[in-house]
Structure 1
Amino acid sequence: MDVTAVDLFCGVGGLTHGFESIGIPVAAGIDVNPDCRYPFEANNDAEFVEADIAETSSDEIASLYPDDGYKILAGCAPCQPFSNLNNGRDSEEMDDWSLLREFGRIVRDIQPELVTMENVIEIRNHQVYSRFVDTLFKLGYDISVNKVNCTDYGVPQNRKRLVVLASQIGDISLINPTHTTYEDRPTVRKAIGGDTLNPIKAGEADDEDPLHRSQSLADKNLERIRQSEPGGTWRDWDNELVLDCHRKDSGSTYDAVYGRMEWDSAAPTITTQFYGYGSGRFGHPEQDRAISLREGAMLQTFPKEYSFLKEDQDEIHYNQIGRFIGNAVPVRLAKVIGETTNQHIKHNVKDRNASRDGTGTEVRDVAQPQRAESSGVESIQ
C-alpha cells in the first residue's frame, strides 16, 4: 500500500527531507513564510505551498494527496509559544498559539491514517496540547506520546522533543533508540570536525560555501573566547572580562553562555540564535569564533550540501537563516519518525493480510483507542 505525506509548517524542509530520504513521498509542504520556498523546493521533490494554515481549508489540504494509499499528516507548529525560552510571557497572547488548534481541525476533517507532531517538551503543559491529543483520541486513533532526547537517535545535540504519533490502522510506537552505545553516540566532532569544513575566523565566510560563515566578534568577546576552554565557563576568564551580570548572585549560575562546545560531546540545543557567541554554548571547540551557519545546519543533521541560499543572493541575514535552521525538525529525527511509520504500515498490512487468509491473528479494533507508550523512550504519563 502506497503512503504519502503532507508537511504542515514545513519551514525549509527538515522533516520532508528526512521522509523523502527513506522513501516516503511528500506531496507538499505548507508554510506561511515565502522565504522558505527556495530551500524547500531546491532540496526536495515536494511542492511548496505558501499558505497560512489558519486560513486554509481542510479540502484544500486533502486535495494535495493522491486518491489512493495511506495519508500521513505531519507537522511541527511553531514552538515559541510553548518553549521555556519564552521568558515568562503569556503564551496565550502569542499569535502562534492557535496553530496547533488548526492542526487538530485539519486532522478532524481529513482523518488521515497517520498523524505525527513534533514539538518542545513544554507544550504538554498547555491546554491546547491536551485538546489536540483528545481530538485524536476521540477520533479513534491509537496514540503514542514520546519524550525523546535526540542524541539517542543520532542527532548530535542535547535536544529534547515531544513526538506524538497517531494511527488509525493499529497500535503505533516509536522505534527504539538507535544510538545507545559509547561508540555510536553522536558528537560535535563527528558532525563538523576533521576536514569536513575549511577553518574560518570570526567575521569570515568560506569562499567555497557562503553558508559557512561566522559572525564577527568585538575585541573583548574575541579575548573571552580565547580564554575559554571547551566545556568550560566564563569562570575561565581573567576577572576584567567577566560580565557584570555574572558577578551577581542571580547570574552566577548561567554557565553556558559564552562557552565553547566540546568535540567529543553532543552540542547544546541548536536554537534560532545559535550563530551568536553570547547566546549559549555556541563557541567553536577549537577556532576562536561562534559556530557558522553551516555548522549549525549540520548539527541539525542537514546534509552539508543542503542549499539555503540562491546562487545570486548577495545579502545574507543571520537572523533569517538562524530561524530557518533552529526551527527545523532535525533531518535525522524525521528519518526516525518516517522509519517508524514505514515499519508500522508494513507490520499492520501484513497482519491484515494474514487475518484475511486465516493465517494470523486479527488486528486489534482501533475503534477502542489506547494511549500507547513507545518502548525505549522516557514516559511522560
Structure 2
Amino acid sequence: MAKTHHRNFTEYGCRIIQLTVQEVARLGFLGFPRHPDYLHASPVCANFSQAHTAKAGVALETADDLTAAIAVAEAIRQLQPQVFTLENVPRYQNSQSFSIILSALEQEGYLVNYSVVNMADFGLPQARRRLVLVASRGFHVALPSGATPCGWYEAITHLIPSMTDSQLLPKQRQAVEQFLATNEPTPLLIQRVGGRSQSKYKPAYLPCNTILRSHFTDHKGCNRSKFADIWLPDGTVKSLSIEGAAILQGFPGWYEFPNETATAGSIIGYSVPPSLATQLFMSAQSILKGAKV
C-alpha cells in the first residue's frame, strides 16, 4: 500500500513514513512541521466496525487502539495544527479512544464539530456512513455542504463495456428475479460476497452498498477473482473491475492500483473516500487563506 501511494504521489514531493503512529510519537514527531495547516487521523477501525462487533456483540477496544489514540492526542499537542480532521466508523465515537482525542482537542482550545454522515450526501456514488470530525482553533471550519447524490451506474457506465463478462451465482439470480417481480428492468449492481441468505443489490439510480476490504479477499486472505457483478436489462453480466470499485469509492481515474486484488481492495476499502477528503481539505484551506490575510 505504501509503495502504491509512493508511485502515485512521489512527483508532488509527498513523503511516506512507514512507522506506526505510536512509533512516530515516541520519536517526538521528528521532522514534522510545527503548526501545520492540516493534520488528519484515521485510526484503525477494525475493532469498531459493524461486522466485527456483530460477531463479538460489543466493540473490543484493545491496547493498540488506546495507544494509537494517545499518540494522535500527542500529535495534536505537539504539532498544534490549524485544522485537525478525523474519519472512522460510526461506533468509534463511543470508544475510550475517541474520548482521549476529544479531550486533547478541548484542552488545546479547538472548536470541535463531529457527526456521522453518509458519504452519498457528499456526491459519492456509495452509501457509506462514517464518523467525521473537524476541529479548528481561532476560526470555525464546518463540514462542507452536501453535493448532489449520484447513482452507481452514472459514475461507472463508461467503464462497463470494457469489464470482463461474468455469470451470476444462484443467489444473485434470485436477487434479480426478486427485483424484477415488482420493478421495471434497470441495471443492478449485485454483490457476490457478504450476503448470507441472499445477495445485496442496488438499482442503477441509487448509490452502491458500502465497499469493504473483505469483499476483495476470501476467508484465507487470498485474492478474489470476482467480488461484484453488474446485471444489465439485456441479460449481459459484467464483473465489476477494480477501476470501477475505485471510482465508486471516489478515487480519480488517474490513480494507479497494484495488480493484486487483495492489496488494491485494501486500499479502496480502508481509504477515506478521496472525493470527501478533497471537499474537507478545500473547505478548510479556503478558510485558512482568509484567516491569514
For Structure 1 versus Structure 2, the TM-score category normalised by the shorter chain is: 0.7 to 0.9
Give a deviation string over 1:298-329, Cα, whole Å, max 9, x none: 111112231112xxxxxx54333222210001
Q: Deviations over 1:344-373 (max 9, x none)?
A: 2133334xxxxxxxxxxxxxxxxxxxxxxx
For residues 192 and 126 of structure 1, do their structure 2 counterparts lie closer, same or farther at Cα, with a shift above 3 Å needed? same
Higher relative contact order (CA 8 A, sep 6+): 1
Structure 2 counterpart of 1:142: 111
Amino acid at match of 2:4: P
Match of residue 178 from structure 1: 147
Other-structure match for 2:81: 112
Report the number of matched residues. Answer: 265
Q: Is the 8 Å Cα contact of residues 146 and 174 (structure 1) preserved in structure 2?
A: no
Q: Flag the 1:139–1:169 CA change in 2: closer, same or farther, 3 A.
A: same
The Cα of 1:114 is off from its aligned counterpart by 1.5
8 Å Cα contact 1:272/1:323 also seen in 2: yes
Which position in structure 1 is the counterpart of 2:229?
283
1:321 & 1:195 partners in 2: Cα distance?
18
- 1:272 pairs with 2:213: yes
Q: Distance in 2 between matches of 1:335 and 1:258?
A: 32
Q: 1:231 offset after TM fit, Å?
A: 8.4
Structure 1 residues 262 and 285, CA gap change in structure 2 (3 angstroms): farther
Change in Cα spacing, 1:227 to 1:276, as seen in structure 2 (3 Å) is farther
Alignment of 1:81-92 (within 5 A): 81-86=47-52, 87-89=54-56, 90-92=59-61
Of the two, which has the highest radius of gyration?
1
Secondary structure in 2 matching 1:57: helix
1:225 aligns with 172
Question: Hey, what's the Cα distance between the residues in 1 that align with 2:240 and 2:29?
Answer: 38
CA distance in 2, matches of 1:328, 1:335: 13
- d(CA) in 2 for partners of 1:60, 1:88: 38
Q: Report how far residue 267 of structure 1 moved.
A: 0.4
For residue 191 of structure 2, what is the aligned residue in structure 1? none
Question: 1:328 and 1:263 mapped to 2: Cα distance?
Answer: 24
Q: Tell me the equivalent position of 1:47.
A: 15
The answer to whether the aligner puts 1:123 opposite 2:123 as a matched pair is no
Give, in whole Å, the separation in 2 of the partners of 1:321 and 1:148.
25
Structure 2: how far apart are the matches of 1:55 and 1:110?
16
Contact persistence 2:163–2:238 (CA under 8 A): no
In structure 1, runs of 5+ residues without a counterpart are 1-35, 180-184, 203-216, 234-252, 310-315, 351-381
Partners of 1:191 and 1:231 in 2: CA distance: 25
The offset of 1:64, in angstroms, is: 3.2
Where does structure 2 lack aligned partners over 5 or more consecutive residues?
A: 181-194
> TM-score w.r.t. structure 1 length?
0.62
Q: How many Å separate the matches in 2 of 1:298 and 1:195? A: 10
Using the alignment, how far apart are the partners of 1:277 and 1:263 within structure 2?
27
**AA aligned opposite 2:39:** L
Report the aligned-residue RMSD. Answer: 3.1
Please point out which of 25, 44, 66 is paired with 1:57: 25
Percent of aligned pairs sharing the same letter: 22
Contact residue 65 and residue 97 of structure 2 kept, 8 A: no
Offset, 1:76: 0.9
Q: Secondary structure at the match of 1:47?
A: coil
> How does the TM-score come out when normalised to structure 2?
0.79
